[in-house]
């Protein structure tokens, strides 16, 4: 193998990831059916933070064509290293305005918009690049001070202000539920998001009205409350060596 040759996925790794994906999809389908929803309404976004390139190539061989990353630098590096695969990259972590140029270079969607300064920076860079970007507005549904996202009572005005940034395509809302074993508290976070989404639909400000919510530990609750995108990492790739606190403040 030459230095420029792509990494050949380990067949056993491919098989394991395929099995994990099938198990998650089965759970998604069951949760949707229990909620009286079509399973086709729920998108599975594999979260690939800290997962090395060789395993991501195995995931691609297992059928994964979109990947969610939290850190801009990590996502940019991976998108460059795996440019031959044509992955759909979703940035799902907090963004500082000085990284907007990097996001425009590789991301197909941004799921953590919570600042008009970031909206302006992205729009300016996107306009210069002659492209647009799908975005979700992040809401701090749990009220935890350590989490990013808009306060719920700020969502209506924020959504109303976004049309001026014409290169941003608002697709819906995103949240991280409360980090707790109290399932009713988690469910209430998701119910709040559904109410905010419904209000945005009435106002015509929330785009497609999608809801990105639910992770490995709570995605079934999220689906019961209307999630259209669940972000799953650990249940697909296993436990990460890096603690969640590096990626999700307060988690």
Q: What is the pLDDT of residue 7?
A: 72
87-103 pLDDT, tens digit per residue, is 999 999 999 999 999 99
Q: Which residue has the higher pLDDT, 2 or 4?
A: 4
Mean pLDDT of the chain: 93
CA distance 23 to 39: 14
Residues 228, 43 contacting (CB under 8 angstroms)? yes
68-124 pLDDT, tens digit per residue, is 999 999 999 999 999 999 999 999 999 999 999 999 999 999 999 999 999 999 999
CA distances in angstroms from 72 to 7, 77, 97, 211, listed in the order given: 23, 9, 11, 22
Confidence category of residue 2, pLDDT binned at 50, 70, 90 = very low
Would you identify the CATH topology of the domain 42-51+66-236? TIM Barrel (3.20.20)
Q: What is the pLDDT of residue 176?
A: 97
**Domain coordinates in residue numbering, the chain:** 42-51+66-236
Q: What is the pLDDT of residue 5?
A: 62
Q: What is the pLDDT of residue 247?
A: 46
136-173 pLDDT, tens digit per residue, is 999 999 999 889 999 999 999 999 999 999 999 999 99
- Picking from 92, 78, 120, 128, the residue whose alpha carbon sits closest to that of residue 247 is 92
CA distance 32 to 222: 10
């Amino acid at each position: 193998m030459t230095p420029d040759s792509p990494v050949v996925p380990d067949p056993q790794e491919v098989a394991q990831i395929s099995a994990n994906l099938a198990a998650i999809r089965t759970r998604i389908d069951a949760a949707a059916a229990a909620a009286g929803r079509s399973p086709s309404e729920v998108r599975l976004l594999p979260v690939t933070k800290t997962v090395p390139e060789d395993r991501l190539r195995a995931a691609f061989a297992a059928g994964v064509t979109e990947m969610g990353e939290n850190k801009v630098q990590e996502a940019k590096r991976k998108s460059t290293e795996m440019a031959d695969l044509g992955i759909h990259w979703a940035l799902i972590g907090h963004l500082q305005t000085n990284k907007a140029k990097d996001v425009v270079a590789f991301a197909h969607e941004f799921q953590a918009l919570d600042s008009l300064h970031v909206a302006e920076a992205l729009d300016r860079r996107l306009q210069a690049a002659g492209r647009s970007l799908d975005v979700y507005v992040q809401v701090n549904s749990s009220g935890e001070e350590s989490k990013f996202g808009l306060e719920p009572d700020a969502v209506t005005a924020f959504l109303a202000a976004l049309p001026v940034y014409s290169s941003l395509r608002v697709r819906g809302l995103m949240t991280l539920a409360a980090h707790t074993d109290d399932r009713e508290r988690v469910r209430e976070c998701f119910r709040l998001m559904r109410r905010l989404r419904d209000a945005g639909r009435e106002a015509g400000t929330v785009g497609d009205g999608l809801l990105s919510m639910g992770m490995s530990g709570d995605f079934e609750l999220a689906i019961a409350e209307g999630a259209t995108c669940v972000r799953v990492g650990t249940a697909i790739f296993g436990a990460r060596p890096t603690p969640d606190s590096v990626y999700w403040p307060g988690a």
